[in-house]
Structure 1
């Protein structure tokens, strides 16, 4: 049983890594989970979900994050934002930086529960402090546009530049679209 769970985790993590690489080319959404597409599991669908749940309940952060993603996207399970938020919250509580960013987005938009902009901002800020380029991007965009908080273009651009320096392509693209130089070229 442990071998099956470990194999499943390896497959899922491989899919996550390849999907993260594709994030640099995409500019549709703020959060990782909106891009992640859990791998197909052929005829063992129900068994795989049960194994993931058992692994998640046992404390496996990757399984918790994967379940949050699957419920958010409605892939291999019915779409359920409440269940998604539940699993992202558990993964975040156990230390998943990606889950923290996704949970922030869910609070920002009121997905799976009440909309709580203060909580979203707090989660994004904490994730940015931990070095998440996606959190820097999300915060930067919020400050740049004045979306959900007081507009502060200078601070927003600074956050976007931090995200771009960390290699998050969406930030670099947004900086170019707003006629601000890529941070690597502005340092010369």
Structure 2
């Protein structure tokens, strides 16, 4: 067991005391010894160690190495939160928002989220942004929502990047700025946020914040649709109507995941089947196509389409 030494000053000199610590609990936890981890963390938590208090709260909430108890979990989370543990502050707020703690609600959650957000916690900043945008537990204030979303967005929080992009697009809480909207949607889209991908496609389709380009619109709408955004599926149709379809020239042609034969085939299309070319270069073309009505993107040798 890893221990930490503390020096206590007595009347007749110095005495060395040995205690369990948070790291010892982590060692036990990582080895799957949950009961031992609880023992280590309880000793440290009772001495006021915030990290151990938070860890102990998790163990009680999940019933790992100890009887599951939301009451005990909340007790330790709250002590950790009071000790300045940011993740504990967020967890306390989440419990309040869930309605699982009696006589605590969104107003109480907002107080803890403010503390965590002011300490730079991106998820807390995002959640506060939502609350201020909707007036949930706080006075509705789109400008404050925008500030909180932007704080989280600048830390790479994809949903916050999408949301501040939407506020810039609509001029809510900030001055309308399509270029800033495009910037934030692009950041979130590249992280895989399906809503941002759809929103980015819409900017391309409308020519807002970027030159109108229906090929790029189809690219992002299709990417969003493949990630589960149903609105994007409808948007694809409108942009495809502005693009010219082409036909497969070869008898049986591989559609690949990238530009080159080293990339894996996604499917095969037969002569006469329709694709839309979104871009081309170095003998390869990126195309939009459908398989059983579902949208797809792939690459094909440019010599095989006409």
TM over 0.5: yes
Give the aligned partner of residue 104 of structure 2.
Answer: 44
Task: Using the TM superposition, give the Cα deviation of residue 134 of structure 1 relative to its aligned residue in structure 2, in angstroms.
Answer: 1.5
Task: Using the TM superposition, give the Cα deviation of residue 151 of structure 1 relative to its aligned residue in structure 2, in angstroms.
Answer: 2.9
Structure 1 stretches of 5 or more lacking a match?
Answer: 13-37
Task: Indicate how the Cα distance of structure 1 residues 118 and 146 shifts in structure 2: closer, same or farther if over 3 A, else same.
Answer: closer
Q: Is the 8 A contact 2:178 2:208 kept in 1?
A: no
Higher relative contact order, chain-length normalized (CA < 8 Å, sep 6+):
1
Q: Secondary structure of 1:44's partner?
A: coil
Give the aligned partner of residue 145 of structure 2.
Answer: 84
Match of 1:103 among 158, 164, 167: 164
Give the aligned partner of residue 127 of structure 1.
Answer: 188
Root mean square deviation, CA, Å: 3.0
By percentage of residues, which structure has more helix? Answer: 1
Q: Is the 8 A contact 2:217 2:239 kept in 1?
A: no
**Separation in 1, partners of 2:102, 2:239:** 44
Give the aligned partner of residue 133 of structure 2.
Answer: 72
Number of residue pairs aligned between Structure 1 and Structure 2: 163
**Separation in 2, partners of 1:77, 1:42:** 19
Deviates more, 1:85-94 or 1:54-63: 54-63
Over residues 54-96 of structure 1, what are the superposed CA-to-partner deviations in whole Å (9 max), with x where a residue is unaligned? Answer: 1211222211110000001111211101100111111112221
* TM-score in terms of structure 2 length: 0.46
Task: Using the TM superposition, give the Cα deviation of residue 148 of structure 1 relative to its aligned residue in structure 2, in angstroms.
Answer: 5.8
Match of 1:169 among 218, 230, 238: 230
By percentage of residues, which structure has more strand? Answer: 2
Q: Is the 8 A contact 2:205 2:239 kept in 1?
A: no
Give the aligned partner of residue 157 of structure 1.
Answer: 218
Task: Indicate how the Cα distance of structure 1 residues 42 and 139 shifts in structure 2: closer, same or farther if over 3 A, else same.
Answer: farther
Structure 2 stretches of 5 or more lacking a match?
Answer: 1-77, 82-87, 242-287, 298-306
**Separation in 2, partners of 1:89, 1:76:** 20
Over residues 16-74 of structure 1, what are the superposed CA-to-partner deviations in whole Å (9 max), with x where a residue is unaligned? Answer: xxxxxxxxxxxxxxxxxxxxxx6568742433221111121122221111000000111
Give the aligned partner of residue 27 of structure 1.
Answer: none
Task: Using the TM superposition, give the Cα deviation of residue 110 of structure 1 relative to its aligned residue in structure 2, in angstroms.
Answer: 1.2
Q: Is the 8 A contact 1:172 1:182 kept in 2?
A: no
Q: Secondary structure of 2:140's partner?
A: coil
Give the aligned partner of residue 202 of structure 2.
Answer: 141
**Separation in 2, partners of 1:141, 1:160:** 8
